[in-house]
């Protein structure tokens, strides 16, 4: 069963589509990276799923049921924009207010549980306003985790965090899916931020889903290339072009694209009298791939 299934979803503001006939499938147990530039419709989509906004048209199903179904709504936790905390109250007090709002049976235990998940069990008495950005983001996640949701919706929770904050956030999200069986929908305007954790990707552009695939599929699309140096770069390039289709000179290296086998390149060059002085295998990162994909899409749009 899929945690989220969206068909043909649209939402416009003043006659402009923010979400434009969007389709989306989030399998249960996934960490689904929802990626797109600022203004592409990520937050609007998430608000629609959470019922904070009403769609013009389309269908949203959560765990196979209509998203308005009360039984399914209580299984969704969300952090969109900010946690809506009271700055002068402590972390614990803020969580308690939310636990009361949710009518939780054992709020104290539940708060302890979520603080442990976000690794803030020792920070319960700190005032919200004294927390760092990384802590505030984690409190937001703790809020969303109250009541043991089966689906967690997080809008750019990594945005603005330092390296350490990002690492902790990644570990928390992996923990939530692995050990609590939760599905996570997480947005970012940077694909690279999600590269280490996402199991699936959806790329949104101008309100439309332009690509949806698993991390493995995405990985296999990221291009490999071999870069090398020789004394006679021009000559070597010409020789390489007799055997390989995509040979370019970039950043002082000859790059042979879509080739993983460095040996065959060295052999071919040697046979033709070129000695390789430096060689390495590379892979275009997902971020680069994403940027290429975006610009390819630009060209299509023209
Ligand atoms: N409440 C609103 N009123 C008018 N326009 C909005 C509103 N919310 C979002 N938009 C517009 O919808 C588009 C998508 O916004 P948003 O979903 O916030 O994108 P993202 O989260 O990807 O940055 C943007 O052009 C934005 O200006
Ligand atoms: Mg947004």
Q: Name the closest ligand to CA 79.
A: 2
CB of 234 closer than 8 Å to CB of 240: no
Nearest to 154, CA basis, from 165, 164, 139, 133 = 139
The pLDDT score that the predictor gives to residue 298 is 66
Q: Which CATH number fits domain 223-283: 3.40.50.720, 3.40.640.10, 3.30.70.100, 1.25.40.10?
A: 3.30.70.100
72: left (phi over 0), alpha (psi -120 to 50) or beta: alpha
Q: Name the closest ligand to CA 19.
A: 1
* Residue 211: pLDDT over 50: yes
**What does pTM read for this prediction?**
0.82
Euclidean distance between CA atoms 190 and 51, whole angstroms: 26
Q: With a 6 A CB cut-off, is 151 part of the ligand 1 pocket? A: no
Dump pLDDT digits (tens) for 175-201: 999 988 899 999 998 888 888 899 999
The pLDDT score that the predictor gives to residue 300 is 58
Dump pLDDT digits (tens) for 134-172: 999 999 999 999 999 999 999 999 888 888 888 999 999
Dump pLDDT digits (tens) for 122-144: 999 999 999 998 999 999 999 99
The pLDDT score that the predictor gives to residue 299 is 59
Topology adopted by domain 2-213: Rossmann fold (3.40.50)
Dump pLDDT digits (tens) for 33-56: 999 999 999 999 999 999 999 999
Nearest CA to ligand 1 atom 12: 18
Residue 16 C-alpha to ligand 1 middle, in angstroms? 10
Mean pLDDT of the chain: 92
Q: What is the rounded average pLDDT of the residues 223-229?
A: 90
The pair phi, psi for residue 61, each rounded to 5°, is -120, 135
Q: Name the closest ligand to CA 13.
A: 1
How far is C-alpha 42 from the geometric centre of its chain's CA atoms? Answer: 11
* Residue 302: pLDDT over 60: no
The pLDDT score that the predictor gives to residue 192 is 81
Nearest CA to ligand 1 atom 4: 13
Full DSSP string of 199-263: SEEEEEETTEEEEEEEHHHHHHHSPEEEEEEES-HHHHHHHHHTT-S-EEEETTEEEEET---HH
Full DSSP string of 116-170: HHTT-TT-TTSBGGGS-HHHHHHHHHHHHHTT--SEEEESSSSTT--HHHHHHHH
pLDDT grade for 295, boundaries at 50, 70 and 90? confident
Pick the atom of ligand 1 nearest to 53's CA.
1
3-state secondary structure of 51: coil
Computed from CA positions of residues 190, 196, 197, 202, in that sequence, does the dihedral angle turn out positive or negative? positive
Tokens at 106, concatenated: 């054992």
Residue 221 C-alpha to ligand 1 middle, in angstroms? 30
- In the chain, CATH 3.30.70.100 sits at 223-283
Dump pLDDT digits (tens) for 76-100: 999 997 778 999 999 999 999 999 9
Q: Which of 59-63, 180-184, 255-259 has the highest mean predicted lDDT (pLDDT)?
A: 59-63
The pocket of ion ligand 2, defined by CB under 5 A, consists of 42-43
């Amino acid at each position: 069963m899929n945690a989220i299934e969206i068909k043909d979803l649209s939402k416009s503001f003043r006659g402009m589509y923010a979400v434009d006939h969007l389709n989306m499938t989030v399998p249960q147990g996934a960490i689904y990276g929802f990626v797109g530039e600022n203004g592409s419709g990520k937050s609007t989509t998430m608000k629609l799923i959470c019922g904070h906004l009403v769609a013009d048209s389309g269908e949203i199903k959560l765990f196979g049921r209509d998203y308005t179904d009360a039984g399914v709504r209580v299984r969704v936790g969300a952090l969109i924009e900010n946690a809506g905390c009271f700055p002068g109250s402590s972390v614990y007090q803020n969580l308690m207010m939310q636990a009361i709002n949710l009518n939780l049976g054992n709020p104290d235990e539940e708060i302890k549980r979520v603080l442990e998940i976000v690794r803030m069990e020792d920070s319960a008495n700190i005032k919200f306003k004294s927390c760092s950005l990384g802590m505030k983001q984690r409190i937001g996640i703790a809020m969303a985790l109250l009541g043991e949701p089966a689906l967690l919706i997080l809008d750019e929770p990594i945005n603005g965090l330092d390296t350490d904050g990002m690492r902790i956030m990644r570990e928390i999200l992996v923990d939530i899916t692995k050990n609590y069986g939760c599905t996570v929908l997480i947005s970012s305007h940077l694909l690279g931020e999600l590269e280490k954790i996402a199991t699936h990707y959806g790329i949104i552009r101008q309100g439309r889903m332009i690509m949806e695939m698993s991390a493995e599929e995405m990985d296999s699309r990221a291009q490999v290339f071999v870069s090398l140096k020789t004394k006679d770069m021009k000559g070597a390039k010409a020789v390489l072009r007799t055997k390989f289709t995509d040979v370019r000179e970039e950043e002082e290296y000859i790059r042979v694209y879509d080739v993983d086998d460095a040996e065959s390149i060295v052999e071919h060059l040697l046979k033709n009298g070129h000695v390789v002085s430096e060689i390495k295998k590379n892979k275009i990162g997902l971020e680069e791939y994403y940027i290429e994909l975006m610009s390819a899409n630009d060209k299509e749009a023209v």
